Amino acid sequence: MSDIAILNELTKTEWGKKAREYIEKNGLPNKRVEFFHYTDLARALSDKIESPSGEVRSANLSADIIIHATQFGEIVSGASKDLQIDSVSKISGYDEDVTTILVQGLSKSSQRITLKAGKKARIAIQRGAGSRTAMHIIVENGAHLEIIEEQGADAGLSSGLMFAEIGENASLRRIMYADTFGAKDIRKSIVNVAKGGEFAGFSLMRGGELSRIETDVHLLGEGAKCNFNAAYLLKNAHNDITTTVYHHAPNCETKEMVRGIVGEGGNAVFQGKIQVERNAQKTSAVMEHRGIMLEDGGKINAKPSLEIYADDVECSHANTIGALDESALFYMQARGISQKSAKILLIKAFLSQVFDDLQYDDIREYAISRIENRLDEIVG
């Protein structure tokens, strides 16, 4: 088993050793494991890991804390009494699985960020090539935290572990722009939401040789909410969005919208699961995935699923994969719009809806402009 390249990447820490032992004993999951059927980790991580290169394209948004995550570690600026950041050895408090063991084993140290009760703050994280972060985010009762992550890499492997605990009536809004064009990226987020709290995620995935973005959300207290949104634009890229939302308490709400397009060599995976436990009555959950295939190929594998053990719930999911509407394209061309511009207008409209719930215009506009310039590269 020691020929698996990823073993050389694990840190010499106690949790690095744990990951090594785990992998040596069990191997990494391959496509015969259902959860990894469309993203064969064993295969992706057996080959030599290239050395990291590439820059973050940042909008340099203002923030209370700015974290530059590099292949050598994190550089932090701007903490305060209300928003504290500490280096800790390791994060704990969640159920471990193969992905958490792996990403924890790749990181040298962890950051713990605490936003004090009732406060409001924004954190910007610029994730460079080869960054391997682990973060424990604590949003105390009634506090509102926003995290904007911008990631850029052309080569190498980056990873991230985020364990977020959202207090009562608190919220965490996480915006993630990932431009990992020729690089690999493995991410795991575990989000616990207490009574009346909310997690809102907005991700824009613009490529990556291999990206696996796993998110587990636990709605633990009554009235907790999860609003998960992601858009992908893929060409010669493999992007896997795997999300599991657990409803543990009554009166919780989940809203998921994932939309994307794939062109030549694009491979999109969406695994969305909502699990409603027996006592999570009055759950309301909607999940939508819509994918568009451009004419030059690509693949989309989408597997939305609902597992419901409560009887008084309202849950639905929709899943469509199709091509652009030819008659709409013709209509636009008949008005003088070139086929390429017509496609871009239609796709932009289609993907922008993923960001409709972003209240602040600057972030929404920024997401849309990123969609636009990527479309220019993808659409033929």
Partner 1 sequence: MLKIKDLKVEIDGKQITNGLSLDVPAGEVHAIMGPNGAGKSTLSNALTGHPAYQVTGGTAELNGKNILALEPEERAAEGLFLSFQYPLEIPGVPTLTFLRTALNEQRKYRGEDELSVPQFMKAAKEAAKRLKIEDEMLKRPLNVGFSGGEKKRMEIFQMAMLEPKFMILDETDSGLDIDALRIVSDGVNYMRAPNRGMLVITHYQRLLDYIKPDKVHVLVDGKIVDTGGPELALELEKNGYDKYEALVS
- The residue ranges that bind partner 1 (CB under 8 A) are 326-328, 330-339, 341, 345-346, 348-350, 352-353
- Least separation in angstroms between residue 349's CB and partner 1 is 3
Q: What are the helix and strand counts (H, E) for the chain? A: 6, 17
Pairwise CA distance, residues 260 & 238, whole Å: 12
Q: Which is nearer to partner 1, 34 or 325 (CB)?
A: 325
Pairwise CA distance, residues 175 & 140, whole Å: 20
Q: Which is nearer to partner 1, 117 or 329 (CB)?
A: 329
Q: Which is nearer to partner 1, 144 or 374 (CB)?
A: 374
Kindly state the tokens that stand for 30.
């391959």
Q: Which is nearer to partner 1, 4 or 345 (CB)?
A: 345
- Least separation in angstroms between residue 344's CB and partner 1 is 10
- Least separation in angstroms between residue 220's CB and partner 1 is 36
Residue 280 neighbours by CB under 8 Å, 6+ apart: 219, 247, 248, 249, 250, 252, 309, 310, 313
Q: Which is nearer to partner 1, 184 or 259 (CB)?
A: 259
CB 78 within 8 A of CB 65: yes
Angstrom distances, CA of residue 291 to CA of 55, 257, 353: 29, 11, 13
Pairwise CA distance, residues 300 & 38, whole Å: 10
- Least separation in angstroms between residue 333's CB and partner 1 is 4
- Least separation in angstroms between residue 325's CB and partner 1 is 8
Q: Name the residue with tokens 């004090």.
A: 116
Burial grade of 204 (CB within 10 A; 0-12, 13-18, 19 or more): buried
Q: Which is nearer to partner 1, 276 or 347 (CB)?
A: 347
Kindly state the tokens that stand for 45.
């991580």
- Least separation in angstroms between residue 129's CB and partner 1 is 34
DSSP 3-state of 163? strand
- Least separation in angstroms between residue 208's CB and partner 1 is 26
Q: Which is nearer to partner 1, 312 or 334 (CB)?
A: 334
